[in-house]
Amino acid sequence: MDDLSAMPSSPQSDIASKYFYSSSGPCSGTGRSAEDTPPCQSSSFGSSRKRKKACEENGNGSPETLPSGENGTAEKQKRNMSKKSGVAKSAATACHGTHPLEPAEMAEHLKQGLGKEGQIVHIQEIPSREASFTELPCHLSGAMREALASIGISRLYSHQSQAIESSISGRHIVVATSTSSGKSLCYNIPVLESLSQDLMACALYIFPTKALAQDQLRTLLEMKNVFHIDIDVKIYDGDTPREDRLWIRNNARLLITNPDMLHVSILPYHGQFQRILSNLRYIVIDEAHSYKGAFGCHTALIIRRLKRICSDVYGSHPTFIFCTATSANPCEHVMELANLDEVELIQNDGSPCGSKYFLLWNPPLYMADGSSKASSVPRRSSSIVEVSYLFAEMVQHGLRCIAFCKTRKLCELVLAYTREILQESAKGLVDSICVYRAGYIAEDRRKIEADLFGGKLRGVAATNALELGIDVGHIDATLHLGFPGSIASLWQQAGRSGRRAKESLAIYVAFEGPLDQYFMKFPHKLFDKPIEHCHVDSRNLKVLGQQLACAAYEHPLCLKYDEHYFGSSLDSAMTTLKDKGYIINNPSGALSSSMWNYIGPEHFVFLQRSPSQAVSIRAIEHDKYKVIDKLNNRLLEEIEESKAFFQVYEGAVYMHQGVNYLVEELDLSSMTAFCRKADLKYYTKTRDYTDINVLGGEFAYLPTSTCKTNRVKTTTQANDCAVTTKWFGFYRILKSSNKISDSVELNLPPYSYVSQAVWVRIPHSVKITVEERKLQFRGGSHAASHALLNIVPLHMMCSASDLGTECANPHETRGIPDRILLYDKHPGGIGMASQAQMLFGELLLAPFELVSTCSCTGAVGCPNCIQSLTCSEYNEVLDKEAAILILKGVIDYERAYFEAEDAFQQS
């Protein structure tokens, strides 16, 4: 029997994070995935000694290579709890109190109890703010006053008054105030007032998600019920029943929709929406900061299509109202998003807010007993366990809490651990928590939202699916397991607590990794740093080409008039469409003013389908596997195709809301996995590898800004790439011993998708230098790629699940080009590679600094430099010294290349 803990060890202490940190599968290379392992359970609390022992036997002093786990009985659990030390906590540490605490009292309570090992490295007290009220504007109608009174509003916050005045007088505005600052009224008041005064006027609300649309509809209906004017407010999205659609098109005056629906259903058939579009007075775009990457780029062009149809076909010129919570450049961003020359910025927040205690929590260090000298590096205890104890504390002491985790599996793991703690400390509360994440069916999510709102639930472990403004009632505390990818996102999540001026608590628990440890060391970087910029690129040629075909289908294109909407690339983009035979012009008239009609491809015309149906705007997969509980035929989850085989295959142990299921059948044709609850003594994980094949030499995205800024010049390329994952088997691993019981072959089809990669070549001379020094070249390029991956989120809004790299394994036989590469892990790509390309010069300098200044001494580095939590290969093939040589070699080569080029141009 193989002992997995005897494999070359991953030196990170928070081993479970290796499995659960990544939400979208592994990096690449033969071996194990980040998505495939079910969370470890009960005995993991008690197994630290066992795990450490295994590592000591390995001679590297590192903690375990695998999470151990067991759905143990309470008896076993107690035994385990009392055994543990170092990595996990002791039963004595767990708080058994259940008396209610206020957030400030909780901060104090934690200092004395759970956090007394020095975990609290910083407390930022964000002071409360008094409301700045203004009286209701005198021009507001009586009906509006009554409606506001009915929802308890007698005065407005100052920013609300300013927003109402400006938008009623027709100025485009962007409201950029804090979470829960009453932004909805900034648009609901002017829109409802205008629609009640002009009985033909209409408005369009655009939300990025269906859940937010539902939330807004509830609020609007509440107001409308007492607003004695007949305005039909309706949602028009993919869930709207077909039989209701005609009525809505003919009668609704306030239409709530999303960019996807505008793209495929409204704009291509704009004639059916003539009444609404010709009377369109307002366009409201809430959560504007969520429009970035490929989705933002497509949305920017969809809005241009909408403005063109409104203006050129129906003669309407609507006023835009944008709301955004967290962005450093709200005006610039929304002007680009909607192609506006001027937007009034409203950011003097008049809403009150209670004080917030923001704690930075670094899991305690421990020394592996008896470790060898070479590796006697102190490690940090499990962040997942720390968060679980904190979550239990919140729930026990009556603080309604959201524990934000980066991945679905981390959520499941935190839930399982916390339930286990509560089983010991407050048994009656075990069922008062659950998981909230994408993948659950809409009905289950609505139920969780309602239970949280109604107080039936005291807490949820959630992914960022709960980050946007879905109203789940009052939340007292938020926990954040690891850096969520951007400071903006952290604030957005933390903003979920303390709504309505109440005191609140946020605790950011660090993983052992460069980014988290950076913020633990320099808290001011988190609290003083302006929130990142939000970027949308409407000039992306690839997207422009696709969107122009859609625009031509809706209304003939004309170079003279349409450049105003689509920019200076219109000419070349139209030429491409013409060459492909998609558009044809009317031969009469001057070239610049001739009209170009959409004619192809043939089947679209023949089937009367619009080209928009072939253009995906989210780069999110449409195809999903269903997971069905065989016992009652209940749909448990839908998993995106690219991630499905990491979790469901015949024989897999699948986890849902902390319960184990055995997958009995996987029907590939219907994309369904059938499973049954099972009490099993093992968990499973796939054996797989992922290859990245860079396609062609074309730029996937043109490096638009490399030339016009003073950024470090780079020869880096961004290309389309094919990402292919193959699953060749799985292990059954005993929870009790953490040993492989057997290995089973799998016969699953490989999964491929096209995405984008950004990469730089490692010069041959650098490779030779590395090899002459008897260092591992592959270990060095792998380590350099990890270091790069680790620092990217400091420069770009992205998370660990957005980007991957090529990971090396010791048995590699496939030839891998000599390069440092990052690839976009979203099928289709969300523009990450193109963003990284623009920054690549700087991006290369940062990992070089990081690795060359890291004080760790081992050849395989440490989690603060070259090890990666998402490495599918357990960080086995790494060489720190080679990484330094490679990074320096690439930087020097790039510098020399551009110096020579400059000298040539000057001569």
Ligand X SMILES: Nc1ncnc2c1ncn2[C@@H]1O[C@H](COP(=O)(O)OP(=O)(O)OP(=O)(O)O)[C@@H](O)[C@H]1O
- Residue whose CB is less far from ligand X, 462 or 655: 462
- Residue whose CB is less far from ligand X, 496 or 767: 496
Q: How far is the CB of 588 from ligand X (least distance, A)?
A: 52
User: CA nearest 871: which of 861, 884, 881?
Assistant: 861
- Residue whose CB is less far from ligand X, 217 or 430: 217
- Residue whose CB is less far from ligand X, 150 or 575: 150
Bridge partners of 255, per DSSP, are 204, 234
- Residue whose CB is less far from ligand X, 189 or 796: 189
Chain centre distance of CA 256: 24
Q: How far is the CB of 506 from ligand X (least distance, A)?
A: 15
- Residue whose CB is less far from ligand X, 325 or 886: 325
- By the rule CB under 6 A, 211 interacts with ligand X: no
Q: How far is the CB of 135 from ligand X (least distance, A)?
A: 11
Per DSSP, the three-state class of 243 is helix
- By the rule CB under 6 A, 180 interacts with ligand X: yes
DSSP per-residue codes, 759-791: EEEPPHHHHHHHHHTT--HHHHHHHHHHHHHHH
- Residue whose CB is less far from ligand X, 36 or 287: 287
Helix boundaries (H) for 475-634: 487-494, 514-521, 523-527, 541-554, 559-566, 570-580, 602-606
- Residue whose CB is less far from ligand X, 23 or 160: 160
48 and 86 in contact (C-beta within 8 Å)? Answer: yes
Q: How far is the CB of 211 from ligand X (least distance, A)?
A: 12
Q: How far is the CB of 794 from ligand X (least distance, A)?
A: 26
Residue 4: is it exposed, middle or buried by C-beta count within 10 angstroms (0-12/13-18/19+)? buried
Evaluate the omega torsion of the peptide bond into residue 363 and state whether it is cis, within 30 degrees of 0: no
- By the rule CB under 6 A, 185 interacts with ligand X: yes
Q: How far is the CB of 182 from ligand X (least distance, A)?
A: 3
Residues 61-90 contacting ligand X, CB under 6 A: none
Single out the residue of 208, 439, 469, 827 in contact with ligand X (rule: CB under 6 A): 469
User: CA nearest 757: which of 818, 707, 806?
Assistant: 806
Site string for ligand X, 96-135 (x = CB under 6 A): ----------------------------------------
- Residue whose CB is less far from ligand X, 151 or 374: 151
Site string for ligand X, 223-262 (x = CB under 6 A): ----------------------------------------
Q: How far is the CB of 219 from ligand X (least distance, A)?
A: 7
Single out the residue of 24, 62, 181, 319 in contact with ligand X (rule: CB under 6 A): 181
Q: How far is the CB of 172 from ligand X (least distance, A)?
A: 19
Bridge partners of 756, per DSSP, are 720
- Positive or negative, the CA dihedral 364, 365, 368, 370 is negative
Site string for ligand X, 307-346 (x = CB under 6 A): ------------------x---------------------
- Residue whose CB is less far from ligand X, 440 or 491: 491
Per DSSP, the three-state class of 721 is strand
Residues 472-511 contacting ligand X, CB under 6 A: 500
Amino acid at 886: I
CA separation (Å) from 476 to 112, 125, 465?
20, 15, 19
Stretch that binds ligand X, among 121-129, 178-186, 709-717, 762-770 (CB under 6 A): 178-186
Total residues at the site for ligand X (CB under 6 A)?
16
Those residues whose C-beta lies under 8 Å from the C-beta of residue 711, and which sit 6 or more positions away, are 705, 838, 839, 841, 842
- Residue whose CB is less far from ligand X, 154 or 593: 154
Q: How far is the CB of 149 from ligand X (least distance, A)?
A: 11
Single out the residue of 50, 183, 555, 778 in contact with ligand X (rule: CB under 6 A): 183
End-to-end CA distance of the chain: 69
Q: How far is the CB of 487 from ligand X (least distance, A)?
A: 17
Stretch that binds ligand X, among 36-44, 174-182, 439-447, 887-895 (CB under 6 A): 174-182
- Positive or negative, the CA dihedral 871, 872, 874, 876 is negative
Q: How far is the CB of 133 from ligand X (least distance, A)?
A: 7
Rg (CA), the chain: 28
Evaluate the omega torsion of the peptide bond into residue 601 and state whether it is cis, within 30 degrees of 0: yes
Q: How far is the CB of 406 from ligand X (least distance, A)?
A: 21
216 and 209 in contact (C-beta within 8 Å)? Answer: no
Single out the residue of 182, 363, 779, 829 in contact with ligand X (rule: CB under 6 A): 182
308 and 565 in contact (C-beta within 8 Å)? Answer: yes
Q: How far is the CB of 188 from ligand X (least distance, A)?
A: 8
- Residue whose CB is less far from ligand X, 473 or 589: 473
Q: How far is the CB of 505 from ligand X (least distance, A)?
A: 18
CA distance 901 to 905: 6
Structure tokens at 166: 């400006």
- By the rule CB under 6 A, 205 interacts with ligand X: no
User: CA nearest 468: which of 275, 324, 311, 298?
Assistant: 324
699 and 717 in contact (C-beta within 8 Å)? Answer: yes
Per DSSP, the three-state class of 333 is helix
Those residues whose C-beta lies under 8 Å from the C-beta of residue 759, and which sit 6 or more positions away, are 694, 716, 717, 719, 819, 820, 821, 822
Structure tokens at 268: 């291509």
Q: How far is the CB of 418 from ligand X (least distance, A)?
A: 26
Longest dimension (CA), the chain: 88
- Residue whose CB is less far from ligand X, 330 or 611: 330
User: CA nearest 176: which of 479, 528, 533?
Assistant: 533
Q: How far is the CB of 474 from ligand X (least distance, A)?
A: 10
User: CA nearest 484: which of 456, 455, 462?
Assistant: 462
Single out the residue of 60, 179, 690, 834 in contact with ligand X (rule: CB under 6 A): 179
516 and 271 in contact (C-beta within 8 Å)? Answer: no
Chain centre distance of CA 452: 22
- The Cβ of residue 376 has, within 10 Å, a number of other Cβ atoms equal to 11
Residue 593 — φ and ψ, nearest 5°?
A: -105, 10
- Residue whose CB is less far from ligand X, 325 or 595: 325
Q: How far is the CB of 215 from ligand X (least distance, A)?
A: 8
**H helices, E strands: number in the chain:** 28, 33
Chain centre distance of CA 777: 33
- Residue whose CB is less far from ligand X, 153 or 226: 153
CA distance 529 to 232: 44
- Residue whose CB is less far from ligand X, 218 or 811: 218
- Residue whose CB is less far from ligand X, 157 or 358: 157
Residues 130-159 contacting ligand X, CB under 6 A: 151, 153, 155-157
Residues that bind ligand X (CB under 6 A): 151, 153, 155-157, 160, 179-185, 325, 469, 500
